[in-house]
């Protein structure tokens, strides 16, 4: 029976889990071995007429995971078990399999192939998240709400501004992943200590042929392994992405609180149960799940960094850790993206509650606007601040509307008439360049998306 929740199917999407299943991993290893045989044929180290047989048999259709596991149990070596199983399937044509290579030539290159597939899945979902946020930004660019700092009411903003900030954050992750691919989608065929001695003078040519066939870049130089700074960068990047999704989910959870109630994640009122004992509960469990899984992913940053040091040309301390951190980080990050895309696609926005919350402080959120208006009338900034602060405190202590307090003050009445003061105290009039910033962010995102599409073409 499965033990881990990923294996049990609780977390993860079918497409990402498939990338890291044992059979997929085996196929990637076979793909590398087959590409090596093909390259050996191209440089004259292996008879070309025998290449096709190996290429055909380098498939899980012929090399079964069960057979590989049986051999590995006996010989206690995972890569040699693959080599023996493939050679067995190829018959007499299998005698040259793995020529000149070391285990990590095959393992690390196969890992890069898995990264390639996994990053494609993540990029597709990041593009979708960016698109959803762009739509929400446009839709809510004028949806007025209170901005909060330190958990306290600060100044008016729009929901669209919040979404615009999120949208551009996701755009940066798309850029970062594209940059990161240059350093992690690399393979190697440099042999036991990085010298390519087993291939002789055609080593670099063989490596280039293999990587071109597999759609990877060859390492510039390596030891027995691809250096783990590459993997650490990737894990750190995915942990950053997980933390950003955590940030989004935390904000949704906070704004869904009963006493705020401005936005909320989707809830299936027909069937979904919020609590086993309190029928009224509508809990943000999906957002909470994202926050919880982000903690797990951030925890993998330390072993990823610890894997960078290795004795001499390599040791085996990285291997066991990577069997956990590489697939799990990808599977959970992808799953969190799926959850967030669903939340934001079906987000409930309560505009009425937003207006109610804007008025909770009885107009005191407009204190900065009043202070700055006073300075424009000729008062010094510090003097204006002192006057407004005293009136804010009076409004607070007497639990009266800030506008009412202002109109009762002789100094204020000398500065502003009632109509002018009403204009100053209107939250919608104190948004600065909010709309301009939102529209610029949307325009920039659209341009970047168009450029990306053209590059893909």
Distances 392 to 61, 147, 149, 157, 178 between C-alpha atoms, Å: 77, 18, 18, 21, 50
Q: What is the dihedral of CA 238, 65, 57, 59, to 10 degrees?
A: -30
Selecting among 150, 276, 280, 320, the annotated active-site residue is: 150
The 8-class DSSP code of residue 141 comes to: T
Q: Are the beta carbons of 427 and 366 closer than 8 angstroms?
A: yes
- Alpha-carbon distance of 287 to 456, in angstroms, equals 33
Selecting among 77, 275, 348, 408, the annotated active-site residue is: 275
Is 275 labeled as catalytic in the residue annotation?
Answer: yes
Q: What are phi and psi for residue 144, nearest 5 degrees?
A: -75, 135
Closest CA to 112 of 66, 180, 56, 55: 180
Distances 96 to 89, 91, 99 between C-alpha atoms, Å: 13, 11, 6
- Alpha-carbon distance of 425 to 366, in angstroms, equals 6
Cβ-based burial of 320 (10 A; exposed 0-12, middle 13-18, buried ≥19): exposed
Q: What are phi and psi for residue 269, nearest 5 degrees?
A: -70, -20
Catalytic residue numbers? Answer: 150, 275
């Amino acid at each position: 029976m499965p033990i881990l929740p990923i294996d049990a199917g609780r977390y993860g999407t079918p497409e990402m889990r498939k990338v890291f299943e044992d059979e997929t991993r085996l196929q990637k290893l076979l793909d590398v071995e087959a590409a090596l045989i093909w390259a050996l044929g191209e440089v004259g180290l292996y008879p070309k007429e025998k290449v096709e047989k190996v290429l055909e048999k380098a498939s899980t259709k012929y090399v079964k995971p069960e057979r590989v596991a049986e051999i590995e149990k006996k010989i206690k070596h995972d890569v040699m078990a693959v080599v023996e199983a493939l050679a067995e399937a190829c018959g007499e044509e299998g005698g040259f399999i793995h020529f000149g290579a070391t285990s990590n030539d095959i393992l690390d290159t196969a890992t890069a192939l898995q990264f390639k597939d996994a990053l494609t899945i993540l990029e597709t979902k990041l593009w979708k998240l960016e698109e959803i946020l762009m739509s929400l930004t446009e839709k809510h660019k004028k949806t007025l709400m209170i901005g909060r700092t330190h958990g306290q009411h600060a100044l008016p903003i729009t929901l669209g501004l919040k979404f615009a900030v999120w949208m551009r954050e996701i755009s940066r992750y798309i850029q970062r992943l594209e940059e990161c691919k240059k350093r992690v989608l690399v393979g190697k065929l440099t042999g036991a200590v990085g010298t390519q001695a087993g291939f002789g003078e055609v080593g670099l040519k063989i490596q280039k042929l293999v990587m071109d066939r597999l759609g990877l870049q060859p390492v510039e130089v390596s030891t027995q392994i691809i250096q783990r700074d590459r993997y650490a960068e990737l894990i750190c990047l995915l942990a950053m992405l997980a933390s950003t999704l955590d940030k989004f989910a935390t904000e949704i959870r906070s704004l869904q609180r009963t006493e705020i109630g401005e936005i909320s994640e989707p809830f299936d009122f027909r069937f979904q149960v919020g609590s086993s004992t309190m029928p009224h509960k509508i809990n943000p469990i999906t957002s909470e799940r994202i926050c919880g899984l982000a903690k797990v992913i951030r925890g993998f940053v330390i072993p990823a960094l610890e894997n960078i040091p290795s004795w001499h040309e390599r040791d085996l301390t990285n291997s066991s850790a990577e069997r956990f951190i590489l697939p799990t980080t990808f599977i959970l990050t992808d799953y969190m993206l799926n959850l967030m895309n669903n939340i934001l696609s079906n987000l409930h926005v309560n505009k009425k509650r937003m207006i109610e919350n804007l008025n909770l402080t009885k107009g005191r959120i407009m204190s900065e606007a009043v202070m700055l208006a006073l300075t424009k009338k000729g008062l010094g900034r510090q003097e204006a601040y002192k006057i407004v602060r005293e009136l804010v405190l009076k409004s607070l202590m007497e639990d009266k509307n800030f506008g009412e307090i202002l109109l009762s003050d002789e100094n204020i009445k000398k500065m502003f008439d009632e109509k002018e003061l009403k204009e100053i105290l209107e939250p919608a009039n104190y948004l600065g360049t909010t709309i301009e910033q939102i529209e610029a962010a949307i325009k920039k995102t659209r341009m970047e998306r168009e450029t990306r599409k053209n590059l893909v073409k």
